[in-house]
């Protein structure tokens, strides 16, 4: 019999909520050393995706242009203008690219990102 357990999730405080303005990105450092780009859209939903542009390797996604494609919240890389879904991280212009996404929430005056314990 095989027993599979889900990795434990840790909510990490990453940003005071008042510093995250609508459609402006904030780069945050996660406990495992990875960078995430944090966004608040006009409808006040929170999203966290990789801050590293998969095409250039530059840490610039937090400086991207937040938008919408047919109801899908998006961010365009400021380098090559590749567009990614904020919900799924999938590239909308290039299906071979994607960004990692993380669950994100606001608790009181703090924005938090969920990461799996032990993730390298």
Is pTM beyond 0.85 here?
yes
Q: Is 11 exposed, middle or buried (0-12, 13-18, 19+ CB in 10 A)?
A: middle
CA 46 – CA 84 distance, rounded (Å): 15
Give the whole-angstrom CA distance, residue 27 versus residue 74: 16
CA-to-CA distance for 107 and 46, rounded, in angstroms? 12
Predicted confidence (pLDDT) per residue in 21-77, tens digit: 999 999 999 999 999 999 999 999 999 999 999 999 999 999 999 999 999 999 999
Strand order in the sheet with 72-76: 65-69, 72-76, 83-85
């Amino acid at each position: 019999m095989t027993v599979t357990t889900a990795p434990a999730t840790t909510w990490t405080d990453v940003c005071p909520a008042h510093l995250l303005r609508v459609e402006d990105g904030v780069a945050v450092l996660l406990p495992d050393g990875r960078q995430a780009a944090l966004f608040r859209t006009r409808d006040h939903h929170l999203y966290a995706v990789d801050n590293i542009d998969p095409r250039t390797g530059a840490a610039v996604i937090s400086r991207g242009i937040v938008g919408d494609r047919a109801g899908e919240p998006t961010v365009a890389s400021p380098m090559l203008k590749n567009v990614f879904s904020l919900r799924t991280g999938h590239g909308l212009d290039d299906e071979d690219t994607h960004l990692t996404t993380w669950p994100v929430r606001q608790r009181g005056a703090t924005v938090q990102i969920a990461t799996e314990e032990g993730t390298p």
